[in-house]
Structure 1
Amino acid sequence: MASEGEIINLQGGNPGSRRDNPININHYATKKSVAESMLDVALFMANVTQLKAVLEQGPSFQYYATLAALISISLFFQVVIGILLIIMVRINLNDVSKQLRLNVLNNTATALIFITVILNIFITAFGVQKTGLYPTRNFRRPY
């Protein structure tokens, strides 16, 4: 098996070709986790904005409690996913003794991402009404 830091060539073909350079699996997994983290941050910011809009509308809004709860749960799961991704990035994938732990963490993060997507479908279905942040303009002509 590969030792720590060793690069594993998963691609067949001509070893002299620039295209067939070996891939560092640990580096690849790290980049993948960073990309997932960026998407998680984008969704987190969207959910914070939605929560702000729901809170501004107040308890008189028809789905106030439902949306506040769904958005809060989604935000909680996103924080947990972010922590899991940070942990996964710090663990060396090439270390065979840590691969089982990484697999469990990855499966857990994937399940939480799936649940978060479903939650956000429901959040979108219940909708957030216009917040009134932008006042309507009254166009009056001066006399």
Structure 2
Amino acid sequence: MSGATVEQEHRADDGNSSVGFRSYNTKKTLAEGLLDIGLLVANATQLKTLLCLGSAAEYYYPNLVFISLSVTLQIVTGALLLVLGGIEGKHLEERRNVNRLNNVIVGFVFAITVINVFVAAFGIKMTEN
């Protein structure tokens, strides 16, 4: 069922098309934000561990770059989620902007996921010297 279909069905129910759709988007945005916080905490812990181990850690520089990039993208995504949550989307142009911003956020979340796969693949462990 597409978003347009849901919106049309809701409009047929009570004439206010944005309430149900807006509620869904608000809950989805909140869930994304909470997941982003969990991943941010995990990345901060990984970064702390990596910095404590220093350059003696295996794959120190790739991990440092990937974790730093992930944390940066998470902060940007969090800020974009705050902006998205504050947009009403009552007019057609606002709805288009909301859709574009939502697509950008989805792209950032995908990039964060891919980066964290590389962080997990490289792992953080001491070299045997």
Common fold: TM-score over 0.5: yes
Quote the offset at 1:71 in angstroms.
0.1
Q: Secondary structure at the match of 2:9?
A: coil
- The counterpart of 2:60, out of the listed 60, 64, 86, is 64
Pairing partner for 1:97 from 89, 93, 98: 93
Residue 104 of structure 2 corresponds to which residue in structure 1?
Answer: 108
Structure 1's unaligned 5+ residue stretches are: 1-7, 16-21, 131-143
- TM-score normalised over the length of structure 1: 0.74
Residue 117 (structure 1) aligned with residue 113 (structure 2): yes
Q: Matched residues in 1 for 2:46 and 2:9: separation?
A: 44
Name the SS for the 1:109 alignment partner.
helix
For 2:19 and 2:9, locate their aligned partners in 1 and report how far apart those are by CA, in whole Å.
7
- Number of residue equivalences: 116
Greater CA radius of gyration, 1 or 2?
Answer: 1
1:126 equivalent to 2:125? Answer no
Structure 1 runs, 4 residues or longer, greater than 6 Å off: none
Matches within 5 A, 1:5-24: 10=9, 24=20
Q: Are the structure 2 counterparts of residues 37 and 24 from structure 1 closer, same or farther at C-alpha, using a change threshold of 3 Å?
A: same
Shift of 1:97: 2.4
For structure 2, the 5+ residue unaligned runs are 1-6
Q: TM-score normalised to the size of structure 2?
A: 0.81
Shift, 1:129, TM fit: 2.2
Q: CA deviation at 1:62?
A: 2.0
Identity %: 33
